[in-house]
Amino acid sequence: MKDVSVENRVETPNFNKLPVVIASEYNSGYLRGWDEIFGKFSLQPENNISGRKVIVTDCYQGVLFEELLALFSDRLKPVLTITSRDYFLKPEEILDITWPDVTDDRIFGYRSRLNMMDFISSGKLAECRARIDSVTGGTVLVFGYGAALVVINPSLLIYADMPRREIQLRMKSAMVDNLGINNRNELFEQKYKRGFFVDWLVCDRHKKKIKDKWDFILDTTDMNDPAMVTADSYDSALTKAITTPFSVVPFFDRGLWGGQWMKKKFDLDPSSPNYAWCFNCIVEENSLMFDFGRGLFETPAVNLVYFRPVELLGEAVYGRFGDEFPIRFDYLDTMEGGNLSLQVHPVTEYIQEKFGMHYTQDESYYIIDARDDASVYLGLREGISPAEMIDDLRNAQKGKQPFDDSRYVNRWPAEKHDHFLIPGGTVHCSGKNCLVLEISSTTFLFTFKLWDWGRIDSDGRPRPINIEHGKNVIQWERDTEYVRSNLINRIRTVAEGTGWKEESTGLHVREFIETRRHWFTKKVIHNTNGGVNVLDLVEGREIIVESPEGRFEPFVVHYAEVFIVPAAVGEYTIRPYGESEGTGCATIKAYVRT
């Protein structure tokens, strides 16, 4: 049932770079622009007892703190302003309490157990509350991180949220500091590490605790065109999202090894030298875009996990992973580019012991497209000496000689629709001239680079190599024969009917993600079976996802788009649509094994 190569067939890009969830039925609670937003605030009455109006604006790390504070101060004309600088610990105290989690490692830290209250001075907090209590008229503005902890019953509570992708862009541009310190001019990797291991965990814990007290949620990803929704409209939009298939907003990054495939197929900026990554389902970092009819509203997609976990994930997945989204999809583009770094991911036992993570980054490479010379490096050659390999890696890192990968690592030819399985502990990387769909568990940055082909990073420094971590997790028995028998194209047909076939394509016994590929020319019936599904259209121009009972609006998906089907959806169907009607299509679906 395989169709002709999309490389040859598709000419006009139809990839949707800004998918939305329609929430126009809740537009009565939507405001756009600063005039509308502050006009709404002015209608809030003063407290009848104290005579003052207390407006609290709590913030996620990564908002443009000074700009937003200046705007609120100018518009509200408060008689008293309290900011997190008034009640937070001193920056040097915050550096001290976060040191055990940040560590001195260039890349890795430890998942912090701190909460927002740990950043607040009890003495300063008492002083701020006393100052607020002394005000008998006018507006009091309490602004900043953890602001909701200062005032128990404010006149208004606004939450200024921020998606992690936008935070990272602002970090790279030296526009924001980490939580409670002054470090915007540090290297990006230092700011990102602190954000990942400390700030975002602290802010997420705080956000979850105060969510039921919000009056408004503020979107300032574009400070010149802000949007705000009421808590009721926001809750309704979240509820709408878990009743329908949806896509998060993809984002694209350059890289030293990046390629040209996505630039052409997705109609990206032609002036960019390359694109290495497309992050199209990393729910903790991607945005969810709501269309309220009068305008868009961008929110962290992870809020759907925090506030609708059972409906999104399913009871069993939620019970196993909590409010984390365990499945990650992203693209690695090496087409006309270079090899990724030779690398290995930790085994579960190691990541739990060293970094406080619950599970490791088991993954797989599904080949979306490939040239004739494409390859994947996977597993070790038979009969090698572990000690000699580690010595050669260390010598290569010191610049004594290049690492002889052909002596130690298998290099396998890669073709379109091949599936390479990569459980933690397996040495691997994509070679050049591949477009890889990376299907993995979501643990972000736990990649131990072993060799990077002698390249220098974009900041002019050698790229971080983690041989000492890597040698502790490499599974040396995963040699040529093991890989051939267990990790390449472990495909078997599990069901078929007229016009469709379902295949299992893996995964390894240590991996908790199951993958199924469907080839089809006619309608295929799917069911979430009580667990979240993530799918990618890997063959065909266009498909349509429908509810047999009409429970959601038909959802159109284009080639290479990734979409999520919440557990609550239950049964759904997929069929070729538009230009693909009458032709063969294929999807790859991932879900958590139960």
Domain shared by 131 and 163, yes or no:
yes
Q: Does residue 198 lie in a domain region?
A: yes
Rounded to an integer, the average pLDDT of 433-455 is: 86
Least trusted range by pLDDT, from 47-61, 129-143, 199-213, 346-360:
346-360
- The pLDDT score that the predictor gives to residue 427 is 97
Q: Does residue 345 lie in a domain region?
A: yes
Rounded to an integer, the average pLDDT of 262-281 is: 96
Domain shared by 442 and 529, yes or no:
no
Rounded to an integer, the average pLDDT of 351-366 is: 76
Least trusted range by pLDDT, from 170-184, 460-474, 515-529:
460-474
Q: Is the pLDDT of residue 112 over 90?
A: yes
Q: Is the pLDDT of residue 205 over 90?
A: yes
Domain shared by 260 and 220, yes or no:
no
Domain CATH code at residue 204 = 3.40.50
Q: Does residue 2 lie in a domain region?
A: no
Q: Distance between CA atoms of 459 and 456, rounded to whole angstroms?
A: 8
- The confidence band for 440, taking pLDDT boundaries of 50, 70 and 90, is confident
- The pLDDT score that the predictor gives to residue 355 is 72
**Residues whose CB is less than 8 angstroms from the CB of residue 276 and which lie 6 or more positions away in sequence, other chains included:** 253, 254, 255, 256, 257, 258, 259, 332, 333, 334, 337
Domain shared by 451 and 550, yes or no:
no
- Mean residue pLDDT of the chain comes to 93
Cα 523 from chain centroid (whole Å):
31
- The pLDDT score that the predictor gives to residue 445 is 63
Rounded to an integer, the average pLDDT of 87-109 is: 94
DSSP per-residue codes, 326-343: -EEEEEEE-TTS-PPPEE
Strand partners, 365: 420, 438
User: CA 258 → CA 187, 274, 335, 341, distances in Å?
Assistant: 22, 5, 7, 12
Decide which of 384 and 440 is more confident.
384
**Residues whose CB is less than 8 angstroms from the CB of residue 107 and which lie 6 or more positions away in sequence, other chains included:** 189, 193, 445, 464, 466
Domain shared by 501 and 526, yes or no:
yes
Q: Dump pLDDT digits (tens) for 208-255.
A: 999 999 999 999 999 999 999 999 999 999 999 999 999 999 999 999
Domain shared by 371 and 442, yes or no:
yes
- The confidence band for 298, taking pLDDT boundaries of 50, 70 and 90, is very high
Domain shared by 453 and 500, yes or no:
no
- The pLDDT score that the predictor gives to residue 352 is 77
Q: Does residue 181 lie in a domain region?
A: yes
Domain shared by 337 and 200, yes or no:
no
- The confidence band for 266, taking pLDDT boundaries of 50, 70 and 90, is very high
Q: Is the pLDDT of residue 282 over 70?
A: yes
Phi and psi torsions of 266, nearest 5° = -105, 5
Q: Does residue 234 lie in a domain region?
A: yes
Domain count for the chain, please give it: 3
- The pLDDT score that the predictor gives to residue 2 is 41
Helix and strand counts by DSSP (H, E) for the chain: 19, 31
Strand bridging mode 492-497 / 277-281: unpaired
Rounded to an integer, the average pLDDT of 331-350 is: 92
Q: Is the pLDDT of residue 408 over 80?
A: yes
Domain hosting 553: range is: 492-592
Q: Does residue 16 lie in a domain region?
A: no
Domain shared by 424 and 500, yes or no:
no
Domain shared by 236 and 273, yes or no:
no
Domain shared by 218 and 237, yes or no:
yes
